[in-house]
């Protein structure tokens, strides 16, 4: 039986792990723990939070990076970045990769996490979409319109910053906070005027219903993703050693995906049951390359955090740098 676009997206957005509560920040000494002697990695299980939209597990498997692991890995699948941050904070997982905004929302809620790595993408897959026949052609034309977005996602930041660039604010539109699958349905039915989302959802909507992009994140925001780890994980010498190895394997897998785009696109399409065309579009513009977690990256994130503070979308002011731990920055 042929799967409809709605069912594909619903499957892609399915969370199989419930969001866990945020806990308070741990002390700084915990985040500075280092192995005092040899670590037996065979006793370590690294719990990795994943999204089907990111597909860490399938990327590592397809590239051969899950072979000959000196430790065990358990993958858990989540809907989006904010539940991943919550789970890392609560100790349900050890490490998570998210977009540029979930870590800011986590920091604003005093999540028990540290930002331990950064990745860069073009930002072109993070877009504000309108229907194929919509007369809306600019962000300024969204004034007074309904815009679907997943709260606390990179799309939320893109929407906020695009509105600011156009001389508008969130109060000038009617945000409708929906999951990616529900956002797709709302745009398709005309229940909303626009939808702020990210790849592969952007690519699916463009390819399957002819959705048009009126703004992409490379025009206003950054394309960064981040690795967030729980402070208890970082205080564990065995898990810290496993993380160092894991990041090397992920970097190698990312290079493999860039060098083998056709193979990777086909495998991702098979996993998510989307078209190979949409998959290839996604991974042509949204492969996430590991980069140094440097002052430029931190400053860019601080600007986004300040924009959310100014919009009263998060409580208080976030000091992003205070959540950064560069122990794994070896590049």
User: How confident is the model over 129-183, as pLDDT tens digits?
Assistant: 999 999 999 999 999 999 999 998 889 999 999 999 999 999 999 999 999 899 9
Stated pTM of the model: 0.81
Do residues 53 and 200 touch, judged by C-beta distance below 8 A? Answer: yes
Residue in 255, 323, 307 with CA at minimum distance from that of residue 109: 323
Separation of alpha carbons 164 and 157, rounded Å: 10
How much is the pLDDT for 123?
Answer: 84
Say whether pLDDT at 11 is over 90. no
* Strand arrangement, sheet containing 127-130: 174-177, 146-149, 194-197, 127-130, 212-216
pLDDT in tens, 77-127: 888 888 999 999 999 999 999 989 999 999 999 999 999 999 988 888 899
3-state helix, strand, coil in the chain (%, to 5): 45, 20, 40
Q: Give the pLDDT confidence score for residue 172 in this predicted structure.
A: 96
165 closest CA partner among 122, 217, 220: 220
Average pLDDT, integer, range 42-66: 90
- Residue 106: per-residue pLDDT: 94
Cα pseudo-dihedral 93, 96, 99, 100, rounded to 10: 90
Backbone angle region of 316, left / alpha / beta, with phi > 0 → left and psi within -120 to 50 → alpha: left
pLDDT digits (tens, 9 = 90+) for 204-245: 999 999 999 999 988 887 889 999 999 999 999 999 999 999
Q: Return the closest-CA partner of residue 281 out of 296, 300, 268.
A: 268
**pLDDT for the residue 12:** 36
Tens-digit pLDDT profile for residues 288-328:
889 999 999 999 999 999 999 998 988 889 999 999 999 99
């Amino acid at each position: 039986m042929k799967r409809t676009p709605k069912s594909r997206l619903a499957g892609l957005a399915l969370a199989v792990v419930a969001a866990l509560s945020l806990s308070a920040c741990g002390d700084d000494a915990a985040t500075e723990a280092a192995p005092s002697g040899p670590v037996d990695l065979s006793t370590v299980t690294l719990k990795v939070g994943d999204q089907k939209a990111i597909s860490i597990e399938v990327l590592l498997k397809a590239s051969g990076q899950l072979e000959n692991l000196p430790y065990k890995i358990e993958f858990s699948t989540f809907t989006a970045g904010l539940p991943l941050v919550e789970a890392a904070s609560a100790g349900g997982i050890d490490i998570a990769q998210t977009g540029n905004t979930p870590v800011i929302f986590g920091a604003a809620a005093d999540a028990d996490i540290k930002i331990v790595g950064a990745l860069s993408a073009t930002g072109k897959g993070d877009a504000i979409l309108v229907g194929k026949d919509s007369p809306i052609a600019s962000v300024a034309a969204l004034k007074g319109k309904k815009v679907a977005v997943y709260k606390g996602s990179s799309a939320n930041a893109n929407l906020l910053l695009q509105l600011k660039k156009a001389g508008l604010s969130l109060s000038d539109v009617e945000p409708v906070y929906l999951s990616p699958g529900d956002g797709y349905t709302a745009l398709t039915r005309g229940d909303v005027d626009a939808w702020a989302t990210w790849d592969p959802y952007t690519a699916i909507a463009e390819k399957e219903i002819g959705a048009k992009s009126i703004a992409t994140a490379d025009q206003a925001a950054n394309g960064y993703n981040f690795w967030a780890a729980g402070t208890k994980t970082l205080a564990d010498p065995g898990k810290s050693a496993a993380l160092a190895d894991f990041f090397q394997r992920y970097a190698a897998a990312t290079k493999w995906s860039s060098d083998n785009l056709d193979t990777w696109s086909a495998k991702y399409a098979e996993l998510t049951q989307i078209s190979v065309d949409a998959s290839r579009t996604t991974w042509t513009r949204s492969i996430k390359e590991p980069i140094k977690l440097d002052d430029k990256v931190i400053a860019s994130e601080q600007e986004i955090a300040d924009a959310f503070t100014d919009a009263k979308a998060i409580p208080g002011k976030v000091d992003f740098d205070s959540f950064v731990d560069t122990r794994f920055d070896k590049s």
